[in-house]
Amino acid sequence: MLRLFAMIIEKAILSRLNELIAEGRSMRTGNVYDRVKSQSHAEQCKGWIASALHIVQLIFIDPSSSYRKLTENITSQDYGNGINNAVGEITEILQNVLKDINKGLISSITDQARAEVFDDFLDHAKAYLKAGMKNEAGVIAGVVFEDTLRQVCRKLDIEDRGVKLDALITQLAKIEILTLTKAKRARAAADVRTKATHAQWQEFDNGDVNSAIAFTEELISSHIES
């Protein structure tokens, strides 16, 4: 389910990127003096630039990304009545971003989408826990932990289909992605996953759920968002 939500977010970002490119190609054209055609045209350009900057920042979470830095530099300048030229410059950037995504050279869009989904669900788990709904929090935390761990494995080309969590944790420990201490914490989180999904409510407590959430957040920060 979480992977499905991530795919939906990724698809939405790619769809919007294509829309912005199409809009930019039309909007970049000015009058005979290569300036905006009207006040309305100028306002449309400004709105488009804001949307374009937003999509670039969503795709490139690292502020040092060359695509992001160049886009932010363009949007920080005052083009006046030549703002359509800024649209043209950014459109070229977006076209190259799309090419790189289609060639598999940019993975952050997928990872960021997943990270956002995982973080949202973990926030729900925390809210449930705070409200005294330990069982519900345990189910959510356990599911997010499993999806996160499996995603880490996929990024490392470790086959996870049909493989139990304990075996995956062992593989990650063998290649030193997880230290012995972290492997122990991972197994504790997996234990919460198993007990919660099998309605063994008395077999785990608030502290177990909190630990599962904290460890999952570490995995997301270290291996999904990075």
Q: At what angle do helices 108-130 and 206-219 cross, to 10 degrees?
A: 160
Q: How far is CA 92 from CA 15, 58, 116, 160, 226, in A?
A: 17, 18, 28, 39, 27
**83: nearest Cα among 6, 152, 27, 23:** 27
Residues in the chain: 226
Q: In whole angstroms, give the CA distance from residue 167 to residue 219.
A: 17
Model pLDDT, residue 4: 46
Computed over its alpha carbons, how large is the radius of gyration of the chain? Answer: 22
> What is the separation, in whole angstroms, between the first and last Cα of the chain?
22
Report pLDDT for 112: 59
Per-residue pLDDT of the chain (226 residues; tens, 9 = 90+): 555 445 555 677 788 899 999 999 999 999 999 999 999 999 999 999 999 998 888 788 778 889 999 999 999 999 999 999 999 999 999 999 988 887 766 655 555 555 566 677 888 889 989 999 999 999 999 988 998 899 889 888 899 988 999 999 999 999 999 999 999 999 999 999 999 989 999 999 999 999 999 999 999 888 876 5
**What integer pLDDT is reported at residue 224 of this predicted model?**
74
Distance CA 146, CA 194 (A): 10
CA-CA distance, 114 to 152, in Å (whole number)?
A: 11
Give the residue extent of every domain in the chain. Answer: 2-102, 108-224
CA dihedral 146, 148, 152, 153 (to 10 degrees): 20
CATH entry 3.40.50.300 includes domain 108-224: no
Report if pTM > 0.75: no
